[in-house]
Amino acid sequence: MELPATNSRMENVISCFRKRPDAVARLICFPWAGGGSIHYARWGNVLHSSIEVLSVRLPGRESRSREPFHQSLQQVVDEVVAALVPLLKEKPFALFGHSFGAFTSFAVAEALKRVHNLEPVHIFLSGASAPYSETRIKAPKRSDLSDEDFLQWMISIGGTPPELLANPEVLKLFLPALKADLHVVENYRCNKPEHPFLSCPLTCFDGKDDIPHDLQAWKSITSGDFTIRMLDGSHFYLKDSGNEKIILDYVTKQVETSEMDYL
């Protein structure tokens, strides 16, 4: 059940570090497990002025650190959709999500289309198999690991500075959010769509050295153009400055092209 969004609640859930009131489109970014809105903040400074970047901020981190974590993806979707709808009715929008964020992007896009008949001009999904794919269903659960085993897994996928993983105080703040998000996504189940519910283009990004993801399965959600872009690196390949530039240049081009089609 969706709750009505107030301005303060909307700003709590959706952050915008660089407001661009004259932008002709918005890019909504969804964080990876345990992540906040900070990583995407600089994207607002780098992307072309025609695009305003908004980032989802989930409870249990940043300014919402005192709020309890969500227990299901449906809770995430209900909150994010309620906050986004007033903004998305104003101008064209695109979605970008990495890893856990790819799942939330997918689920939010489905709800926006089904409930509000709102559709992005492009959806960018990164570092994740489609939730209904065999690869995802058979993936091992990490959220129930002991802290020691969990840290070893974190080290193996990279992307987190070793000095942070060695700092007990940082881990005390970081691990609960990460495990909570993984618990949400590991317990999320959905069926493969019988028919595509989107018609917009979809692009999948992934790191060449990451564990194999079933990216092809994402094609089932849209009747629009489908593209896969493989970049050098492992799971957090997008933190590399060179890869980030490739992604942002591509996103800018695709969104600007979509804007022309939209108009």
Task: Average the pLDDT over each of 4-8, 122-126, 179-183, 196-200 and give the range with the smallest value.
Answer: 4-8
Catalytic residue among 99, 105, 126, 129: 99
Where in the sequence is the domain holding 29, given as residue range(s)?
7-137+190-262
Reply yes or no on whether the pLDDT at 225 is more than 80.
yes
Reply yes or no on whether 199 is catalytic.
no
**Would you say residue 181 lies in a domain?**
no
**Would you say residue 100 lies in a domain?**
yes
Catalytic residue among 55, 122, 235, 258: 235
**Would you say residue 180 lies in a domain?**
no
Mean pLDDT (whole number) for 179-202: 94
Instruction: Report the candidate in 70, 71, 80 with the shortest Cα–Cα distance to residue 115.
Output: 80
**Would you say residue 104 lies in a domain?**
yes
Q: CATH number of the domain at 14, please.
A: 3.40.50.1820
**Would you say residue 147 lies in a domain?**
no
**Would you say residue 49 lies in a domain?**
yes
Counted domains in the chain: 1
**Would you say residue 123 lies in a domain?**
yes
pLDDT digits (tens, 9 = 90+) for 239-262: 999 999 999 999 999 998 876 565
Reply yes or no on whether the pLDDT at 146 is more than 70.
yes
**Would you say residue 150 lies in a domain?**
no
pLDDT digits (tens, 9 = 90+) for 97-133: 999 999 999 999 999 999 999 999 999 999 999 999 9
Mean pLDDT (whole number) for 149-159: 82
Reply yes or no on whether 235 is catalytic.
yes
pLDDT digits (tens, 9 = 90+) for 196-215: 999 999 999 999 999 999 99
